Structure 1
Amino acid sequence: MPAALIVAHGSPAEPGPQETALQSLAAQVQGQLPGWQVLGATLAAPGALETALDRLGPGALIYPFFMAQGWFTGRELPRRLALAGAGALRQLDPFGTDPDLPGLMARVALDGARQAGLDPAASTLLLAAHGSKVSRTSADSTYAMADHMRRLTSFTVTVGFVEEPPFLTDTARIDGPAICLPFFALRAGHVAGDVPDALDQAGFSGPLLRAIGEHPMAAALIAAALARA
Structure 2
Amino acid sequence: MAQATDPRRAAVIVAHGSPKNPQPQERALTALAERVATRVPSLTVRGATLAAEGALEAALDGLNAPLVYPFFMADGWFTRKQLPRRLAAAGQNGARCLAPFGADPALIDLLARTALDTARAAGLSPANTTLVLAAHGSGRHGSSDVTAWQAARALSACGHFRQVVTGFIEQPPFLADVTRRVGPALCLPFFSLRAGHVLEDIPDALAAAGFDGPVLPPIGTHGDVPGLIAATLTKTLQEVPQ
Verify same fold: TM over 0.5: yes
Between the aligned residues of both structures, percent identity stands at 56
Between the aligned partners of 1:157 and 1:32, the Cα distance in structure 2 is: 33
Shift of 1:85: 1.2
**Pair 1:146 & 2:152 matched:** yes
**Pair 1:13 & 2:20 matched:** yes
Between the aligned partners of 1:197 and 1:87, the Cα distance in structure 2 is: 42
Between the aligned partners of 2:174 and 2:98, the Cα distance in structure 1 is: 30
Aligned residues: CA RMSD: 1.0
**Structural mapping, 1:58-207, within 5 Å:** 58-155=64-161, 156-207=163-214
Secondary structure, in 3 states, of the residue corresponding to 2:213? coil
Q: Counterpart amino acid of 1:68?
A: A
Between the aligned partners of 2:93 and 2:203, the Cα distance in structure 1 is: 38
Between the aligned partners of 1:120 and 1:198, the Cα distance in structure 2 is: 23
Q: Counterpart amino acid of 2:147?
A: S
Between the aligned partners of 1:175 and 1:89, the Cα distance in structure 2 is: 45
Between the aligned partners of 1:207 and 1:27, the Cα distance in structure 2 is: 30
Shift of 1:206: 0.2
Shift of 1:165: 0.3
Return structure 1 stretches of 4+ with deviation > 6 angstroms.
none
Q: Counterpart amino acid of 2:45?
A: V
Between the aligned partners of 1:154 and 1:73, the Cα distance in structure 2 is: 31
Between the aligned partners of 2:57 and 2:125, the Cα distance in structure 1 is: 48
- Asked whether the equivalents of residues 75 and 146 of structure 2 are also in contact (C-alpha less than 8 Å), the reply is no
Secondary structure, in 3 states, of the residue corresponding to 1:184? coil
Secondary structure, in 3 states, of the residue corresponding to 2:133? strand
Q: Which residue of 2 aligns with 1:41?
A: 48
Shift of 1:34: 1.2
Deviates more, 1:170-179 or 1:72-81: 170-179
Q: Counterpart amino acid of 1:34?
A: P
Q: TM-score, normalised by structure 1?
A: 0.97
Q: Which residue of 1 aligns with 2:59?
A: 52
How many residues are aligned here? 228
Between the aligned partners of 2:143 and 2:77, the Cα distance in structure 1 is: 8
Between the aligned partners of 1:145 and 1:37, the Cα distance in structure 2 is: 30
Between the aligned partners of 1:87 and 1:184, the Cα distance in structure 2 is: 28
Between the aligned partners of 2:159 and 2:23, the Cα distance in structure 1 is: 37
Between the aligned partners of 1:221 and 1:26, the Cα distance in structure 2 is: 12
Between the aligned partners of 1:107 and 1:169, the Cα distance in structure 2 is: 25
Q: TM-score, normalised by structure 2?
A: 0.92
**Pair 1:22 & 2:29 matched:** yes
Shift of 1:136: 2.6
Deviates more, 1:182-191 or 1:132-141: 132-141
- Asked whether the equivalents of residues 189 and 219 of structure 2 are also in contact (C-alpha less than 8 Å), the reply is yes
Q: Deviations over 1:144-178 (max 9, x none)?
A: 11111112242111010000000111111133210
Shift of 1:84: 1.2
